[in-house]
Amino acid sequence: MTAWAAIADHISQTTGKPFEPASPRSLGGGCINTAARLSDGAREYFVKLNRAHLLDMFEAESDGLAEMAATRSIRVPQPLCYGIADGDAYLVMEYIALGRHRSDGAAAEAGRQLARMHRQSADAFGWHRDNTIGSTPQHNAWMTDWVEFWRERRLGFQLRLAAEAGYRGSLQRRGERLLAEFDALIDHAPVPSLLHGDLWGGNMSYDSEGRPVIYDPAVYYGDREADIAMTELFGGFDHDFHAAYDEAWPLDPGYRVRRDLYNLYHILNHLNLFGRGYLGQAQRLIDRLLAEIC
Ligand code: ADP
């Protein structure tokens, strides 16, 4: 059986309805995986493929999509099934025709809906399982102290990866100092919020009715400011989005400084994933944060 026949078979079993698709239409690669649309003319699915040893990554993505979908706040693709076929790992989810148009007020709606998703809380920071950020492992074992969580599971982990990749010297020295002292910047009391976790502009779009959709998450429960910070890192979220979010659930004073602290995690991850081009930005962020503490 070919991989596609096996995937179609899995879809038939999961939905309880025979699914006999035409040839898959390749959608090219995202940042990490290759993707295809599988359709029989009546039903269509979005399928992500990668090497078999990455099945765990797809399991975690499926769990993350389900956790966000359960909040019924902002649209996410419904995950359907995952597995290994012909040596490749696959994840099947609902296909959503993205980006056709954006209705009036859609960006504001996205801000309000994200605030609603962030209201979903947990008893501690983390998640019931690890996942990935890009293709980097993201450790989510629960902790009740947010500062400790951010130190151990986020910044400290990425700094160690950077050291292993050979980024030593001042990045590590100043990074270590920041790890020891950044609690001075967290002078609010965040509640654990369900986060998308990787909310850059490429992971949000609009469905054919112009409603916001988010996908490709790195879910965990954390300070909601971490999601908002990332929306400001690479652009793609406009004033209406931020104004509507802030009206629905105002950010705490001091957010502007913590934004750098939270985005440093993603910049270190980019350094570890994509290389030296991100070193200067990581160092500048660390220096700016240290200057805020002094
Ligand atoms: P990767 O994990 O490789 O980064 P993404 O999940 O970001 O892949 O998907 C790649 C692209 O495919 C997205 O930028 C988006 O345009 C599109 N896409 C993602 N999910 C869906 C979906 N469920 N239906 C249709 N298109 C999707």
d(CA 210, CA 109): 10
Ligand 1 centroid, distance to 32 Cα (angstroms): 10
d(CA 165, CA 286): 18
192: amino acid identity, one letter: P
Ligand 1 centroid, distance to 25 Cα (angstroms): 14
Atom of ligand 1 nearest to the CA of 94: 23
Domain with CATH 3.90.1200.10 in the chain: 106-293
Q: Find the mean pLDDT for residues 221-249.
A: 96
Q: Is the CB of 68 under 6 A from ligand 1?
A: no
What backbone phi and psi angles, to 5 degrees, belong to 214?
Answer: -120, 150
> What CATH number matches the domain at 3-94, 3.90.1200.10, 3.40.50.2300, 3.30.200.20, 3.40.50.300?
3.30.200.20
Mean pLDDT of the residues in the chain: 95
Q: Is the CB of 77 under 6 A from ligand 1?
A: yes
Task: Name the residue with the closest Cα to ligand 1, atom 10.
Answer: 30
Residue 149 has pLDDT above 80, yes or no: yes
Decide which of 29 and 156 is more confident.
156
Determine which of 4-18, 91-105, 188-202 has the lowest per-residue pLDDT on average.
91-105
Q: Is the CB of 46 under 6 A from ligand 1?
A: yes
- DSSP characters for 218-242? --EEE-HHHHHHHHTTS----HHHH
C-beta of residue 218 within 8 angstroms of C-beta of residue 131: yes
End-to-end CA distance of the chain: 64
pLDDT band for 101, please (50, 70, 90 cuts).
low
Q: pLDDT (tens digit, 9 = 90+) per residue, 86-99?
A: 999 999 999 999 98
pLDDT at 103: 74
Residue 23 burial (10 A CB sphere; 0-12, 13-18, 19+) = exposed
Q: Hunting for tokens 């890009």 — which residue is that?
A: 134
Residue 221 has pLDDT above 60, yes or no: yes
Q: pLDDT (tens digit, 9 = 90+) per residue, 19-30?
A: 999 988 888 777
To test the pocket of ligand 1, the residue of 76, 216, 269, 274 to mutate (highest count of ligand atoms within 8 Å of its CB) is 216
pLDDT band for 283, please (50, 70, 90 cuts).
very high
Q: Hunting for tokens 């989810």 — which residue is that?
A: 93
Q: Find the mean pLDDT for residues 47-62.
A: 96
Catalytic (active-site) positions:
198
Q: Is the CB of 216 under 6 A from ligand 1?
A: yes
Q: Find the mean pLDDT for residues 66-77.
A: 98
Domain with CATH 3.30.200.20 in the chain: 3-94
pLDDT at 63: 98
Q: Is the CB of 32 under 6 A from ligand 1?
A: yes
Residue 220 has pLDDT above 80, yes or no: yes
pLDDT at 100: 57
> What CATH number matches the domain at 106-293, 3.40.250.10, 3.30.450.20, 3.90.1200.10, 3.30.70.600?
3.90.1200.10
Q: Find the mean pLDDT for residues 183-211.
A: 95
Ligand 1 centroid, distance to 281 Cα (angstroms): 27
pTM listed for this prediction: 0.96
